[in-house]
Structure 1
Amino acid sequence: MDPRIARTRSSLQQALLELARESPLETITVGDIAERAGVNRSSFYQHYSDKETLLADALDAAAEEAAAELPVLEELPDGPPAALVAYLAHVDANADLYRRALGEQGSAVVMARVRGTIETVVRDAVAGSGVPGFDDVPIDVVAAGITGSALGVIRAWVDRDPRPPVETATAWLWRMLLGPSGPAR
């Protein structure tokens, strides 16, 4: 991808995330996003057809960034990977946005994109690891199960009021991923 295109898309994604921390998503206009990103409205539409597609790309980018930091596992680590903690810190910083995106009134398009990205990350991580335990289960089923659990924990966490700290959510998610017979850490 042309570096200028990547830079513009990243600027638009960051602008949307920043604005969504300040105001409800429904009140943010394409003009607001373009202004914050330092581009004009026509530049926005050269890259995105609408705000929903931009949101899906922004949330995808966050998941992909965390995935890039995941280590290749030869055995089950003692605790959650730093990439998981970093991803949940991102979710925490954008909790209102995730609450809306993953909630019942959220966008089906955004939810499908987030689910698809996380499933791909999980599929690649499990397939590339040497950790036993899923040898007799098809990889797409493993990815769907882990993704469903992860998104369920994330949604339950961001819906809490008050929302527990990232460390608590990380412990909950790690425990769900390990299952009831996994070590409680």
Structure 2
Amino acid sequence: MSEEQLDPRVVRTRRMLHDAMRELLHDRDPVDISVTDITARAKVSRPTFYQHCGTPEELIATMVRDDLRDIIACGRRADDGDPLSRIRQIVGELNQRRCLYRRLMSHGPGLGRGKQELLAYLAGRTEEMIMARHPDLPARTAQEASRFIAGGMIVLLSGWLSSADPAPEPEVDQFCRRLWRLGESVVEGLAEA
């Protein structure tokens, strides 16, 4: 169900919970954030929290899913068919939400679902690019290559997002070009395999 179809009170409460979690992530590691911390910051009751999600990890996964939905929507509006511009769009948005994604990347065990959401999104966009370039490639090969590239992107993003402050635009652009060159070399190597 899309946000437009939800009761406005549900949308408002979800945003309050997301905002509270984002604020808490500025100061703490995700594994150190309790339901009590979230409900106190959001000024909602525990039963209200549990109506929207079961655990803090679920809340983070929902936030990531919502972020990715927003990134996809922005990417579709700005899509000029250039895969590098898509990468810039994704990395630029992650850079703006750096606090959340820095912690998400560096605390894998407690944030498995959120990280899986991001990995699935990156793999899906990469698979689209691979199939557009190599339409005769077996689907399994394209899927494996896209997961390989997306996994590498996660590792590189984790290191790049390690500082707390958002990177300036030129640094974002340089990082995107490096990611693109690495991914493209794998994609081009598929033609030779």
Q: CA deviation at 1:120?
A: 4.8
Partners of 1:161 and 1:42 lie apart in 2 by 34
C-alpha contact (below 8 Å) 1:56/1:113 kept by paired residues: yes
**Is the 2:36–2:46 contact (alpha carbons within 8 Å) kept by the matching residues of 1?**
yes
Counterpart position of 1:89: 95
For residues 30-179 of structure 1, the aligned pairs below 5 Å read 30-71=35-76, 75-76=81-82, 79-81=84-86, 82-90=88-96, 92-101=98-107, 103=108, 105-120=109-124, 126=128, 132-137=132-137, 142=142, 145-159=145-159, 163=163, 165-179=171-185
What is the Cα deviation at residue 167 of structure 1? 3.4
Helix, strand or coil for the counterpart of 2:13? Answer: helix
* Partner SS for 1:70: helix
Please state which structure has a larger fraction of its residues in helix.
2
C-alpha distance in structure 1 between counterparts of 2:123 and 2:160, whole Å: 25
Give the conservation status (yes or no) of the 8 Å contact 2:35–2:56.
yes
Q: Secondary structure at the match of 2:154?
A: helix
- In the TM superposition, residue 74 of structure 1 has moved relative to its aligned partner by 6.4
For 1:167 and 1:70, the matched residues in 2 are separated by 16
The letter for the 2-side match of 1:30 is V
Aligned length: 175
Structure 2: segments with no counterpart, 5+ residues: 189-193
Query: Cα–Cα, structure 1 residues 140 and 73, in superposed 2: closer, same or farther, change >3 Å?
Result: farther
Distance in 2 (alpha carbons) for counterparts of 1:56 and 1:45: 15
Say whether 1:15 aligns with 2:27: no
How does the TM-score come out when normalised to structure 2? 0.69
Relative to 1, partners in 2 of residues 1:138 and 1:13: Cα closer, same or farther, differing over 3 Å? farther
Q: Distance in 1 between matches of 2:113 and 2:162?
A: 28
* Aligned 8 A contact 1:91 1:98 in 2: no
Cα distance in structure 2, aligned partners of 1:117 and 1:11: 25
Task: For structure 1, list consecutive stretches of 5 or more residues without a partner in the other structure.
Answer: none
How far residue 36 of structure 1 moved from its aligned partner, in angstroms, is 1.9
Q: Structure 1: how far apart are the matches of 2:55 and 2:143?
A: 29
Does the 8 A contact of 2:22 with 2:100 survive in 1? yes
Counterpart AA for 1:113: E
Shift of 1:140: 7.1
